Amino acid sequence: AQSVTQLDSQVPVFEEAPVELRCNYSSSVSVYLFWYVQYPNQGLQLLLKYLSGSTLVKGINGFEAEFNKSQTSFHLRKPSVHISDTAEYFCAVSVRGSSNTGKLIFGQGTTLQVKP
């Protein structure tokens, strides 16, 4: 079975400061890795995904994440946050195979609070 652990439930940070949201996963098979963002009263939006290849993945809104296979981590980073980045962030994995289509296993989420 797969599981995802987001190590921080809340991360407060001041505007224009850097931020890192931590994610670790557990799986006995190869997985794809995702970060989604959820703004208040909205659905989830994909920030970035890691499928294969370069371990540094760049996404939308200036976010990037690094896949570390040995540490089974996929931490999300942004060098300078804005007030508009305040939202809940979810790390997720999916397993290869048509029987798993549409199925994402999510972490519990990290609330990013950007303060002026």
Partner 1 sequence: KAGVTQTPRYLIKTRGQQVTLSCSPISGHRSVSWYQQTPGQGLQFLFEYFSETQRNKGNFPGRFSGRQFSNSRSEMNVSTLELGDSALYLCASSWGQATNEKLFFGSGTQLSVL
* Residues 29-58: x where in contact with partner 1 by CB under 8 A, - otherwise, as a string: ---x---x----xxxxxx--x-x-------
Cβ proximity to partner 1: between 80 and 108 the closer is 108
Type of residue numbered 109: G
Query: Measured from the CB of residue 42, what is the shortest distance to partner 1 in angstroms?
Result: 5
Cite the beta strand spans of 9-50 per DSSP E.
Answer: 10-14, 19-21, 23-26, 31-38, 44-50
Query: Measured from the CB of residue 80, what is the shortest distance to partner 1 in angstroms?
Result: 26
Determine the Cα–Cα distance for residues 45 and 32; give it in Å rounded to an integer: 16
- The pair of three-digit structure tokens given for residue 40, joined into one six-digit string: 């208040």
Kindly state the DSSP code that residue 69 receives in the 8-state scheme.
T
* Interface ranges with partner 1 (CB under 8 A): 32, 36, 41-46, 49, 51, 90, 94-109
